[in-house]
Chain A
Amino acid sequence: MRLNEKALIRKSILELCNTGLPRQESTDDGIRTIRERGSEKEENLWEYIVALGAQLSRPPFDPYREKIKLTTKIGRKGDQKISLKIPIFIYGELDLSQSSKDALTLALNSLVDNRSTVGLISKDEPCDERKYPHFQLVSNISKISDPDGIVLEYTGIKTEEKIEKIRKEFDGPILVEVDEDFAHYTTRLLGLGVDGILVNTDNITKSEKYERKHAIAVIHDAKLAINEFYRGKENDGACLVVAGDVNNAGKMIKAAGLGADVIGYDTSLLIAKVGHHSENFFDEEITAQKIFNHMIATKSELTGIPAAIGYSDFHNLSPSDFRTSSIKASIQGDIPLEGVDKTYRNIVAEILEEYVNTKNISVNQQEKQKIINLVIKEEN
């Protein structure tokens, strides 16, 4: 509910309180008018997705008294796995000064000491004092310098050749940051032994292919691409790292529900860049403390929400735990609508099935899919 709608409600109640008499105008009519006027504003689909909390039919966990597991392992082979206590990689495109980088290192090491390990993805050479896993983002494989993992940017078929080459020399996990065409080559990447893909929703939603689509569509499609490789088989640990528009705990939880295993998170970089604003000098320790505090609070949020949904493990979140109050979100993320527990696609499919049966129309499965796609395109 928007601020002006709340103001209208308040005004309306005050009218009742002051007069004790029925009002002249309906407030819901007023809210409808406000919404019609504001309908051109682009919707943030994250705000239309909710999780189903646990109560009688499934008891909630208590995050203050019971352990909620967040640990994630990166890597498909047992002896190469990297463990993160919080399913987060610090990752982003912000350029940091050396002082900010030092503060970040300090904070990440403190997190490890506090059993809250997060990873770092960066182009920089891993520093020797690090206790946390550093995944080096490389485009030139000759510049790899003893990282715990590697992230390669996908630049076409040459990347696949590079993977083959690196795999021979490097035992640690390899992730590939993919572009908008990931659906075409993810299976090949996983076939080459890549340990996971990284999708940056900010970049991909800027592409023509994902024009007017939201981050949830990217996450959903990326998960499908991974599942395609494992059709009929059990996933041996290939992970989906989602970065971009996932910068708070609510979005992280929803992204996890849609299929993300690890989140690429840039708010820690932002805090490192701001530093210690109220002084004229940059205090590494204070900045590190802020990064640390922020991550600890985020960790609490990431344990609190799955507990309230009824899980003791963050990674148990699945699409069935979420509902949406937006047809667009239902289409893009394949999320059931609240109340009816069916996706918009399923509703259209059911109505189509009944329609063709009633009208005795003969259309084959392929044609039905075309009809459904066209109908849902109208609402997307």
Chain B
Amino acid sequence: MVIIGKYSQSFIGSVKIRRVMPLPKDVMNFRWDMAKIVKNEGHVADLKSLLLDAQKAADGLVPYASLGAHSQNDYFSNIIIDNAKINSTQDYSDVDASLTIGGRYSKKIIKTDVPFSVAGMSYGSVKLPAKISLHLALNKLAKNGIKILMNTGEGGALPWEIYGTEKSREKLSKTHWDSILQYTNKLLRANHLEGIDIDELFTREYPLVVQYASGRFWKDPAYLLNADGIEIKIGQGAKIGHGGILPGSKVTELVAENRGILAHKPAHSPSRHLDILGPEDLVAKVLELRELTNWETPIIVKVGASRIYDDMEIILKSYADCATVDGLVGGTGAAPYEVREDIGINTIASLLPIRNAINDYYETHNKDGFKLLVNGGIWDSERIAKTIALGADGVGIGTGFLLAMGCTLIQECHTDICPAGITGSHEKLDVEKSSEGIFNYIKATKTELQNIAGSLGRKKIEDIEMTDLSVNDLLTSIISELPFSDDTNHVSKIQTKIDNAISTLNLQGEKI
């Protein structure tokens, strides 16, 4: 494979990006040749589409993509938090930003100090230095009084995540512990991170949710038993109904060892759990995990936003403590390009049917501790506040953390050539620097959230309501049921149009 221009410089806005061109020269040239013909025929060449065609012509395979869909309308920016300030001279640090998950059926409750979490990004999908950066940053934050939840993603957990607490190590035999340390040292050596203190590494002070996905990529039962929460992953926004994939180029010997699979072959999880085909199966699975964890561990069910009213109805009845809903633009390490772009609805659009499903359920059931987490296109305090006001209890952030570590958004996470060294091994990620970036990102986002709630006169983030929001376009008003800033809503706007139409058509409409 001939790789052209290992690095080329390009600019996105004012941000200078070191860009890697990963595609073979043949493919790139073929794309340009097709573009010339299209232009000669008098059409506008869609270069992205032609590049996908050139890739398909070269290898006969479905083109893959990463991060989130290029949704043309994610509604977030059409929603305004009226009179809120992200930056304030007043001190709002006493605003309660905490979030609890569990307690609906589980004995234990996860408590975090911020209503956002690190969304599932598994080892393999992101490289070890990135996982360690997150781990160290979250530990440092916990020491500074900010506990934030981390989701492992579907590729299993790293040894220090599973055995990061003293309790989790209590029953380990020496042989087992030695084998864990041996694998850990291998991981650190392979990534030139031998300098990291093992004791510090095997300290986990933040809550961990592990994913139970259709691929079952873990080999140690402690993965489930030592977790603070278990998330049954039915789907994700970027590839609803498709199942996960980790391309073979990213399945290194060490990743394979961690997942219990063969190296250098794609790790493909099925599109559905082989034992969850419908609502009753989900109930059985939740109860199975409840028995396994002695009804202690909170259980979450994750779906992508699609037929979301129906899916939420099923989750609400499934004995789960919480649902995670991932919108269309939710990111991924790898998904077929067309599946990523064309399946699923936007995060904001999913919130009305979700609210309806929850409200309909609790019309006939007593209120309990059911919680809703929402992911997809959420990466800053304003979007967190908007999502919470529209009914979520908390949110998950993925791409935001990648950006905090230095992601340049070239969207090649599926190819193992990430120029920032986060999802690929082309460059070495500076663990200390990215850890510091994550620390600051979370700290500042929490302060901004407190400023937003405080400036609205709220004592808790969860008290931000729909009445604090307005919209600036008709469609956003229709799909969110939010009013415009002048207190009109989509109904009154359309009524005005009807009035005008009646006048234009000269249908005075006789009063009955």
The residues of A with any CB-CB pair to B shorter than 8 Å are 1, 3-4, 6-14, 16-24, 26-29, 31-32, 35, 43, 47-65, 93-94, 247-250, 253-254, 267, 270-271, 273-274, 277-278, 290-294, 296-298, 300-301, 304-305, 307-310, 323, 325-327, 337-341, 344, 347-348, 351-352, 355-356, 359-363, 367, 370-371, 374-375, 378-379
Contacts and interface: CB of A to CB of B under 8 A. Distances in A.
A227 B447 CA distance: 59
B296 to A, nearest CB: 25
A135 to B, nearest CB: 22
A56 B52 CA distance: 31
Nearest to B399: A9
Interface of B: 12-15, 26, 29-30, 33-34, 37-38, 41, 49, 52-53, 56-63, 70-80, 86-88, 234-235, 239-243, 268, 270-272, 276-279, 282, 303-304, 306-307, 310-311, 313-315, 328-329, 336, 338-339, 341-346, 348-353, 379-383, 400, 403-404, 407-409, 436-441, 443-445, 447-448, 451, 472, 474-475, 478-480, 490-491, 494-495, 497-498, 501-502, 504-505, 507, 509-512
Contacts of B438: 17
A363 B508 CA distance: 9
Contacts of B497: 348, 375, 378
Contact of B34 (A16, A18, A274, A340): A274
Contacts of B303: 55-56
B444 A351 contact: no
A11 B501 contact: no
B494 A351 contact: yes
Nearest to B408: A10
A28 B383 contact: yes
A153 B313 CA distance: 51
Please report whether the interface of chain B is mostly helix, strand, loop or mixed according to DSSP.
helix
A301 B338 contact: yes
Contacts of B400: 13
B29 A340 contact: no
B512 A371 contact: no
Contacts of A270: 34, 37-38, 53
A305 B344 CA distance: 12
Nearest 9 pairs of A and B residues by beta carbon: A53-B240, A308-B241, A339-B349, A293-B60, A20-B440, A7-B13, A60-B241, A57-B310, A361-B509
B475 A57 contact: no
A50 B344 CA distance: 6
Contact of B77 (A31, A57, A59, A351): A31
Contact of B13 (A1, A4, A50, A327): A4
A374 B501 contact: yes
A13 B380 contact: yes
B342 A250 contact: yes
A143 to B, nearest CB: 25
Given A23-B86, A51-B342, A374-B501, A308 B240 contact: yes
A9 B74 CA distance: 14
A62 B487 CA distance: 48
A55 B314 CA distance: 11
B409 A370 contact: no
A297 B443 contact: no
A57 B314 contact: yes
Contacts of B439: 20
A28 B342 contact: no
